[in-house]
Amino acid sequence: MPLLELTNLSVNYGAIQAVRDLSLTVEQGEIVTLIGANGAGKTTTLRAISRMLKAKSGQITFEGHDLLRVTADKVVTYGIAQSPEGRQVLARQSIADNLELGAYIRKDTGGIQADIKQMYERFPRLSERRHQLAGTLSGGEQQMLAIARALMSRPKLLLLDEPSLGLAPIIVLEIFRIIKELNAQGVTILLVEQNARLAMQTSHRTYVMEAGQVTFSGSSAELVGDERVLHAYLGG
């Protein structure tokens, strides 16, 4: 049984069909990439999984739980965390406050503090700046904070929305190194990326979306040189 399974998912914004009949699976231990042109429906798909958005029809199951029957909070307790597009850190709060926010479903104060320490070890840049407000961090550091915040709920599945957006190439490589490392440590990852090549080089499988639908999918190694990917990515 896949860890996450989307079956014929449709999501609308009013009259706009943003996602149509989308089916996708993520197996335990995988990094799966979702790519496509701007507006293809990638963010909408992630937000439907995390229950930030209501689905119109279809099914989403995670470890046998029917996600469409539960609230966004419940989804986090099941083990899914999202690092949103644009990072969305609390600019006027400290790094520690932002990390604590990621642990809002947990009650084990000691464990939370231990995990914050662990985040500082994993992300030394955050540790060095731990007394600064999150809004004073660079884009790359804010991205690291957004990922660290998501990890604070101890997720089995991490949803990453455009982690490389607006970052310098060297920082992008650093973020992708972290993604691989997290995966090697047991976190399954569903990754939405504009940087298709790097995302495919980093992931096991890729789904390509066009106009709200999956047009094709396969092993990332096989699709990385596929002309159809470029075509979809450029929007046809």
Instruction: Summarize as ranges the residues that interact with ligand ATP (CB under 6 A).
Output: 13, 16, 18, 36, 38-44, 85
Give the contacts of 196 (CB within 8 A, at least 6 positions apart).
33, 35, 229, 233
Residue 46 CB, nearest distance to ligand ATP (Å)? Answer: 8
Using the minimum distance from each CB to ligand ATP, give the nearer residue, 33 or 44.
Answer: 44
Q: At what angle do helices 109-122 and 139-151 cross, to 10 degrees?
A: 140
Residue 153 CB, nearest distance to ligand ATP (Å)? Answer: 23
Using the minimum distance from each CB to ligand ATP, give the nearer residue, 116 or 214.
Answer: 214
Residue 194 CB, nearest distance to ligand ATP (Å)? Answer: 6
Using the minimum distance from each CB to ligand ATP, give the nearer residue, 34 or 144.
Answer: 34
* Strand order through the sheet with 16-26: 16-26, 4-13, 57-62, 65-66
Residue 148 CB, nearest distance to ligand ATP (Å)? Answer: 22
Give the contacts of 98 (CB within 8 A, at least 6 positions apart).
89, 90, 134, 145, 149
For CA atoms 181, 100, 49, 138, give the dihedral sign.
negative
Using the minimum distance from each CB to ligand ATP, give the nearer residue, 2 or 39.
Answer: 39
Half-sphere exposure of 58 (CA within 13 A, CB side): 22
- The token duo for 49 is 């999984």
Residue 221 CB, nearest distance to ligand ATP (Å)? Answer: 23
Q: Measured between alpha carbons, how far is 4 from 143 in angstroms, rounded to an integer?
A: 24
Provide Rg for the chain, Cα atoms. Answer: 17
Residue 41 CB, nearest distance to ligand ATP (Å)? Answer: 4
- The token duo for 66 is 């029917």
